[in-house]
């Protein structure tokens, strides 16, 4: 695994943060203390993967979202409270949406369908992405350092480590979703 990380570590991080996010950056950043990843490169690559992903979903929402939703009344009905919540809490969501685990695709799509212009979204997605990548990377670093995570430990316990990181992300996402659901449907 060490050879793989030497050759493809940052590319795997880019793809991982593009597809999922938290687990990929937590795994990479937990190996910073071992010298497998550089802190600033880890934040930069993780930011790039999530930023590209967010922009793809934003553009899909901007170009085709309203057309797609208008032709699906059931989906439109389900999306109405979420859209209303977004309109009422626009600034807070624009700054924090990267931390809302479980809404990875939905929020950028809704933002794309809103009246948020591309240049506005560029600013917010840049700030939110940097905050997210820096914060999650810092958490991963301290987890790796505290538990003295090594490549060998990953090789021997990869399934448990990924389940642990994913479980932590899902738990945080579930709690945030529960809080937001109360506010959205209240």
Q: What is the pLDDT of residues 77-96, one digit of tens each?
A: 878 888 888 888 899 889 88
Total structural domains within the chain: 1
Q: Are 30 and 141 in contact (CB under 8 A)?
A: yes
Between CA 123 and CA 120 the distance in angstroms is 5
**Which residue range(s) make up the domain with 120?**
2-184
The full DSSP string for 38-72 is -HHHHHHHHHHHHHHHHHHHHHHIIIIIHHHHHT-
Q: What is the pLDDT of residues 136-180, one digit of tens each?
A: 999 999 989 998 888 887 778 878 877 887 777 777 767 776 776
């Amino acid at each position: 695994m060490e050879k793989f990380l030497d050759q493809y570590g940052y590319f795997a991080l880019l793809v991982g943060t593009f597809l999922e996010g938290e687990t990929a950056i937590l795994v990479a950043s937990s190996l910073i203390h071992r010298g497998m990843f550089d802190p600033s490169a880890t934040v930069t690559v993780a930011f790039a993967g999530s930023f590209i992903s967010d922009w793809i979903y934003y553009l899909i929402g901007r170009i085709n979202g309203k057309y797609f939703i208008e032709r699906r009344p059931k989906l439109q009905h389900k999306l109405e409270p979420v859209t209303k919540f977004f309109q009422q809490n626009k600034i807070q969501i624009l700054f924090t949406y990267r931390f809302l685990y479980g809404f990875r695709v939905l929020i950028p799509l809704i933002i794309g369908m809103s009246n948020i212009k591309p240049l506005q979204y560029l600013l917010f997605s840049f700030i939110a992405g940097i905050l997210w990548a820096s914060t999650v990377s810092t958490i991963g670093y301290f987890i790796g350092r505290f538990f003295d995570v090594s490549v060998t430990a990953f090789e021997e316990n990869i399934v448990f480590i990924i389940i642990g990181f994913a479980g932590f992300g899902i738990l945080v996402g579930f709690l945030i979703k529960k809080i937001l659901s109360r506010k959205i449907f209240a």
